[in-house]
Structure 1
């Protein structure tokens, strides 16, 4: 089991304000990366703040997506990528890359990622929110904290 799990928290629509990435080699977590990201104009939707508790004051001095991207790229390129509700995180990544003129195809990670929502739904889990799956599988989670969510997703994938 060699893969990378990723989770984005967003400020508005697809603009990330945090990313957590877990690298797994042969079934073991070998790297964890997390950082805040300053969204364009440091703008936030009040709803997203309620979800993850990240405020504009937290990201005012953070790096932009473009500045963080090299760290993301080195962890994702040519890897199997896993996310909980993969279409959300994949769209955040691809749309953010497009905004800065970055070529998604260069990552060589495919148009669909492994999705722990789909995996656990197929196992009969209802509901399949990350917090619900983690509760049933007894996985520690500080929900809506990007690194914790990515780590939990990695552990769910390892237990599939």
Structure 2
């Protein structure tokens, strides 16, 4: 789809052929939005993901919904101060979580596991507690 950076192909292993028959962003956005709306979104290096989502919404002329999101890096930094690295792979190794790095589903699952472990470390059990403790890190799309 119009351009695939060779570096990204090397990192993620996704080629144009892999997605040639996949629906485009504008064809699936409303379904994805319905899943996200009203929920707290968490991603590792979330600022990057939010920027990509904003760019896609702008490209297709879609309204940007008000969505709260957090970065699992900030969750990890609050939960385990002083670690040498806070990358997804490093955090997974720290917690003995095996995964296939740079594969979307596996990365999302590890991000969720790390976030839940972090919330447990901070003794947060409810969404309102998470939002209160993480309010400085909470962002709006």
TM bin, normalised by shorter chain, reads 0.7 to 0.9
Q: Deviation of residue 61 (structure 1)? A: 1.3
2:37 aligned with 1:77: yes
2:72 to 116, 139, 147: 116
- 1:138 paired with 2:96, answer yes
Q: Which sections of structure 2, spanning at least 5 residues, go unmatched?
A: 119-141
Q: Please give the residue correspondences for 1:3-152 in structure 2 after superposition, counting only pairs within 5 Å.
A: 39=1, 41=2, 43-105=3-65, 108-110=66-68, 113-122=69-78, 123=80, 124-152=82-110
TM-score after normalising by structure 1: 0.68
Distance, in Å, in 1 between the alignment partners of 2:24 and 2:70 is 27
TM-score of the two chains, using structure 2 as the length reference:
0.76
1:114 aligns to what SS in structure 2? strand
Structure 1: where are the runs of 5+ without partners? 1-38
Q: Computing the radius of gyration over CA atoms, which structure comes out larger, 1 or 2?
A: 2
Cα RMSD after superposing both structures: 1.3
Instruction: Specify which structure has the higher proportion of helix.
Output: 2
Judge conservation of contact 2:76–2:115 (CA < 8 Å) in 1. Answer: no
Instruction: Please identify, of 116-125 and 58-67, the stretch whose mean Cα deviation from structure 2 is larger.
Output: 116-125
Which residue of structure 1 aligns with residue 130 of structure 2? Answer: none
